[in-house]
Structure 1
Amino acid sequence: MPVTVIDRSLHGSLLTDTVKDIASTLLTKCDLTDYNLTIVLTDDIEIKSLNRRYRSQHKPTNVLSFPLSENIGLLDEGLSFKELGDIVISLDTARKEAFFNNQTVIYKLSLLMTHGLLHILGYDHEASDSEAERMSKEETRLLHELNLCRRQKMTSLAINVDHIATIRQARGIAEPDPVAAAAICELAGAEGIVVHLREDRRHIQDRDVRLLKETVKTRLNLEMGAAEEIVLFALEVKPDMVTLVPEKREELTTEGGLDVISQKSKLAKTIERMEHANIPVSLFIDPDIDQVKASLDIGATYVEIHTGCYADATNEDQQHNEFKLIQSTAAEAHQVGLRVNAGHGLNYLNTGPIAAIGTIEELSIGHAIISRAVFCGLE
């Protein structure tokens, strides 16, 4: 059952394995495991050219199907292989439609592959109303079989406003105010606000957290170490959730995930205290399945997967390997019942593939957005 995925787009390399897995599952569900299928990921320019050449349409579309034969039964005759044909998908259009419909890119690609495969198998929704209904029912069945109910909605974005406070603290005055920045971010569409209250109070201050608790309309996520002083403060203020992170005084920013395995006792006690106050707890961990299991054992509600190594990768192979670690860790965490967020080092160039992972609910991004806002404004 070979599925071949050809990436002719500029940004599809990290999606090819996932696309191949979904296509292979589709062939299995259609009882076509003896057949070959080719998936081509391309851009709007190429698919527009294909539309003009084969359909006399001068516009890009999301998917095109090219069956080897109009009758699948003829594929066996005189051939040493069984080739279904090609499904060509424009990643440009797929991403636009996913954004417009508030869907993940992976879910959208699954819809398009299902639609394209059914066309190869002879379904044609343009032939008649009854044929359109028949094709729609089969699409629904296959999507249900794919078990894509993990997450169809687009990944949420939470903004970390620590860097606004860093600028303020550089002068020791009242501006810029991270509380005002948080309000601007929410008005612009952010679905959460993140702040890190450090023991040394290098940027975010107690006053900021108290005011944010009163003013944030989405969700306030307080990042913190497990120091007793900070724990007591969190129990008093009661943010919407806390994320426990490792903390070193000499670091410029959080350098890696918690070693939950070696700190299970201490972290478990902190989680228990937060739960008694009805505060959900997330643990910031490296992409490691053993850390996921330890997080589950001590009662965490969420894990936030550290994406720093992925963001800092210096070549494509390294980035691909780090991406696969994040993807498999997120899948394991979701499978055992943990909710999954991710963040650290994500920017306008590397966020797309992480946002496409169907088991990740929310991304936490700060530095990249605040840095760009210096030049073009926060809105």
Structure 2
Amino acid sequence: MTKLSVNVNKIATLRNARGGNVPDLLKVATDLEGFGAQGITIHPRPDERHIRYQDARDLKKIVKSEFNIEGNPVQKFIDLVLEVKPEQVTLVPDSVDAITSNAGWDTIKHKEFLTDVINTFKNAGIRTSIFVDANTKIIDGAKAVGTDRIELYTESYATGYFLNKENAIKPFIEAAKRANELGLGINAGHDLSLDNIQFFAQNIPNLLEVSIGHALISEALYLGLDNAVNMYLHRLK
């Protein structure tokens, strides 16, 4: 079964809006695990506009499932990950002013840089994943830089799902098949939702993990967190 890792950035955004500790990020993370989530994901950015660097330190103490930290590997981020030592680090090439992630790595252009960063994390015993577009040449490049896993950037799938879901998923199936041939683990994330997750999971061979935040938290406003998590788990079976 594909694992569900819940991104709690939006919980931190809501907390920060009032400057206090409501909602309590640590309690929400613990509750999500109790509801069945198999991982907690955070994506701290340099301006700490949602997840704060201290949140990463605090979450490490209480998360009992898989802890995944995403981000652009600037030196501040690298230092944080090496200090906290999550089970997984996911490298994302987002710019400082990006509202959300909007592109995968060019693993060919950035081969030397990615190889160095990945070696740094792997030497510290941290599993590495890199955010990539569904492109077989980019997947080949991911293998070359030494990453353990790739995370397929699924915005184009989500955008095309209601127009023609078969066409929308084709490049992701091809990318996943190539990753399987190369021995790369496969994660996925971005704009996956209750509407489109089941079709994606059923068609991507050996999908290990999905990371979902914005959609799940938004859906939980109507459904409740417990119900939303379990609806995702049901669709991922």
TM-score, with structure 2 as normaliser: 0.91
- Three-state SS of the structure 2 residue aligned to 1:223 is strand
Shift of 1:250: 2.7
Q: Deviations over 1:319-344 (max 9, x none)?
A: 42230111110111011110001111
Deviations along 1:99-137, one digit per CA (max 9) or x if unpaired, are: xxxxxxxxxxxxxxxxxxxxxxxxxxxxxxxxxxxxxxx
CA distance in 1, matches of 2:110, 2:117: 11
Contact 2:188 2:209 in 1 (8 A): yes
Structure-1 separation of matches of 2:74 and 2:176 = 28
Shift of 1:375: 2.6
Q: Which residue in 2 is equivalent to 1:258?
A: 105
Counterpart of 2:49? 202
| Pairing 1:326–2:175 present | no
- Match runs of 1:191-340 below 5 Å: 191-313=38-160, 315-317=162-164, 319-340=165-186
- One-letter amino acid of the counterpart of residue 352, structure 1: Q
Given that 1:162 and 1:178 are in contact with CA atoms closer than 8 Å, whether structure 2 keeps it comes out as no
> C-alpha distance in 2, partners of 1:301/1:347?
25
Gaps of 5+ in 1: 1-153
Distance 1:284 1:175, change over 3 A: same
1:360 partner letter: L
Instruction: Report the aligned-residue RMSD.
Output: 1.3
**Post-superposition shift, 1:315?**
4.9
Deviations 1:202-233 (A, max 9, x none): 11011211111111111000001110111011
Q: Once the 2 structures are TM-superposed, how far is the Cα of residue 364 of structure 1 from its aligned partner?
A: 1.0
CA offsets 1:56-114 (integer angstroms, 9 cap, x no match):
xxxxxxxxxxxxxxxxxxxxxxxxxxxxxxxxxxxxxxxxxxxxxxxxxxxxxxxxxxx
What's the TM-score, normalizing by structure 1? 0.58
Aligned to 1:157, the other structure's residue is in SS state strand
Residue of structure 2 equivalent to 1:186 = 33
Question: Do 2:161 and 2:196's aligned partners in 1 also have CA atoms closer than 8 Å?
Answer: no
Give 1:341's aligned residue. Answer: 187
For 1:364 and 1:370, the matched residues in 2 are separated by 12
**Whose Rg is larger?**
1
Note if contact 1:226-1:267 (Cα within 8 Å) is conserved in structure 2.
Answer: no
Which structure's relative contact order is higher, taking Cα pairs within 8 Å and 6+ residues apart? 2
Aligned to 1:113: none
Tell me whether 301-310 or 261-270 shows the greater mean CA deviation.
Answer: 261-270
Deviations 1:30-72 (A, max 9, x none): xxxxxxxxxxxxxxxxxxxxxxxxxxxxxxxxxxxxxxxxxxx
Q: Kindly indicate whether the alpha-carbon contact (under 8 Å) linking 1:342 and 1:362 is maintained by their aligned counterparts in 2.
A: yes
Matches within 5 A, 1:36-47: none
The alpha carbon displacement at 1:200 in A equals 1.4
Q: Which residue of 1 aligns with 2:24?
A: 177
Write the distance in 2 (CA, Å) between the matches of 1:193 and 1:205. Answer: 15
Quote the offset at 1:314 in angstroms: 6.8
AA in 2 matched with 1:294: G
Measure the CA separation in 2 of the matches of 1:181 and 1:314: 30
- Whether the 8 Å contact between 1:223 and 1:245 is mirrored in structure 2 is yes
Q: For the residues of structure 1 that align with 2:99 and 2:10, how far apart are their CA atoms?
A: 12
Structure 2 unmatched ranges of 5 or more: 227-237
Counterpart position of 2:229: none
Residue of 7, 10, 14 corresponding to 1:167: 14
SS in 1 for 2:6: strand
Quick check: 1:224–1:245 contact (8 Å CA) kept in 2? Answer: yes
Q: Which string of whole-angstrom CA distances, capped at 9 and with x for unpartnered residues, describes residues 177-216 of structure 1?
A: 2221111111011111110011111110112111111111
